[in-house]
Amino acid sequence: MSTITQLSTLSGEYVLDAAHTRIGFVAKHTMASKVPGKFEEFEGGAQLDGGHPEGSSAWLSVRAQSLTTGNPQRDELLRGKFLDTGTHPALTFTTTRVKQVDATHFKVTGGLTVRGHTQQVTLDVELTGGETDPQGRYLVGFKGRALINRNDWDVNWNATTTALVSPKVRLEFDAVAVRQA
């Protein structure tokens, strides 16, 4: 994807292209090993105001049951004991503030809801490019991350868990969104 030189060209309504978007996390497990994971099912969108980025907004809804780490036993434990997907089927994020840092970097703050608890999170977001694809659709790319403490959302199982899994979890995404006509 090419680099955007004029933010004003981005203005419009967008939806996530799920086939070209990755929403994931990394958690440190016992001493030094890191466990990466991702969510397979989600939907989201954005209203971008290229002339005034602070007027932009975005939303995301993730199906919690779609979590995968590549280990079925661990996945079931995370879905059941940690995320309680039977009671809380979705994780959501809705922006409350966008602050432009430089030409391609932004601080995006919003409410992250997990297990029925909403906390404010600020994502470091980078605009990675924009272009028209062969089908004539305008695409924009973003990547970002945030470090959170899972205990702020009561994402914990028992006292042993605290010793085995770090409370710090890095959320990360690499997203492509399609401008709507």
Question: 157 or 159, which is more confident?
Answer: 157
Q: Which of 110-114, 119-123, 154-158, 160-164 has the lowest mean pLDDT?
A: 160-164
18 φ/ψ angles, rounded to the nearest 5 degrees: -60, -30
| Tokens 């059941």 belong to residue | 80
Tokens of residue 86, six digits: 């039977």
Report pLDDT for 181: 73
pTM above 0.75, yes or no: yes
Q: CATH fold of 7-179, please?
A: Lipocalin (2.40.128)
pLDDT digits (tens, 9 = 90+) for 2-24: 555 578 889 999 999 999 999 99
Question: 30 or 69, which is more confident?
Answer: 69
Mean per-residue pLDDT for 78-82? 91
Mean per-residue pLDDT for 40-46? 98
Nearest to residue 116, comparing CAs of 152, 158, 153?
153
Nearest to residue 180, comparing CAs of 16, 8, 33, 29?
16
Domain boundary assignment for the chain: 7-179
Gap between the Cα atoms of 24 and 17, Å rounded? 15
